Structure 1
Amino acid sequence: MPDAEALIGISKLLEVPVSKLLGAEVEQTDMEDLTEELARVNEQLAGLHRKEDRMKQAGEKRGLILFLSFAAMFLSLAIKQEAVSLFLSGVCILTAVVILYRNLTLLTSVTTEDMRLNVLRITTVFNTVVLVLGILLAVLTASDVITFSEQHEQMFAVFLVACVMIFAGMVSPKLPFTRHTGLRLPWTVRDEETWNLAHRILGILSLPLALLYVVCSLTSDRMEEISLIAMLLWIGIPGGISYLFYWKKMHGGLGEKTSQSSSGR
């Protein structure tokens, strides 16, 4: 279906009325209605083209982020010198995070007018700070610029994990439904209601679990086991409850559809 401008151009070129090009004799009022309809269709097509362009651009950004992530893994394995390997891998990861930050609106369904975009930005900045701190300390330690005792390393790890848990608990209830930032489980990314439930639970659970994790780590010498249990509880509780909710919701919907089709028959 050509747009109104193209139809007018064809009619002028062929010296044929637009109504004849369309195969019918129409009144002036009908022609106005047709012009409005063509304009509406053109607007819809333009919207589809814009959406396709955004999807293409988002795909390119995702591909670049994935490439940098794989490059970081390759460099960490290929380069034998630990400090250089950590530095180059860190540069790749940080570059990927910067690309994510600059394209949050493109990669998510959140518009720039939505206040929830600020939550995504704050979360990305926090992740970046944690990455920079971890990479910097790893490089300095590998270069023997600074040295930590085993106990100090464990305490730093506990402090860092606890900070991540507390921060996640603060922002989780405010995170919008997106596949890029948050508790990205197969069932949470498929349903917004399940996503919101999982993150509300995560918000309630994070602070008390983080405090319990710190207390247990300071009073016990089995930090690795305690850290593993804390992570399993932190992810497992909201993940398990949200999965049960999602399963009941999906199977309940299937049951309703089955009963409706049976009654229709």
Structure 2
Amino acid sequence: KLYAWEEAFKNRICAIRKKELSAIFKYDLLRFFITFAWTAAVGWMIFFTFLTHVLVDESHHLTAPTVFVTMGYFIYIRKSSNCLASVIDFIISGVNSAERVAKFLVLKEIHKELVVQQTKEDKVSQNSVISISDGSFAWSAANPPVLKNISLDIPKGSLVAVVGMVGCGKSSLLSAVLGEMIAQNGSIQKKGTVAFVPQEAWIQNDSLRNNILFGSSFKEDEYMEVLQACALTSDLSILPSGDETEIGEK
């Protein structure tokens, strides 16, 4: 809201919606003409059939038996022709749906054979709820592994904190435990179910220092203690203006 993007995004949405409405209008117009053509075709067929009969026949006139028999045949034809337009519509929709399903089915599977769900009967690692043995994990098969040859053992009932500098692989480790990364080597053993509750950070459009203080008065000793506890000193050394660097939501 600070950057006032409302009008810009409104214009983009309206432009996309305008294209969508134009496509819907063309589709409905084409469907109308197809339906009208199939409905009117039988009437024109009856007219030209009787006209041809009158012109070709030597007597040049229609008899009641001829008219009623011919109309009976055309009634059956009309019932079939009325369904034909809907059948064509259903075929086109079915082909489009089949193409979407086919694209989904040919996607590469994420092989989770290396993620083993333990049961109560398993005797391996009875005291561990999550165990990783020499695991290497990547986001895709074409990319090199982000986590290489890691081993982890989390005992039952323990509280574990994974700390480290930005980009060291903390979030990737959680994704690997959840089975969202490709395991290229090693194995993961999990016992029970896993609940993942990610954080949803909110950042002010202000300096990094003011974001940390969040309205509190600046006390250098306490401030430095917080930086040390959060392992932010190494990150601040990378920023061009240190803790005075302007940050915010983009």
TM-score range, shorter-chain basis?
Answer: under 0.3
Higher relative contact order (CA 8 A, sep 6+): 2
Structure number with greater Rg is: 2
Report the TM-score when normalising by structure 2: 0.26
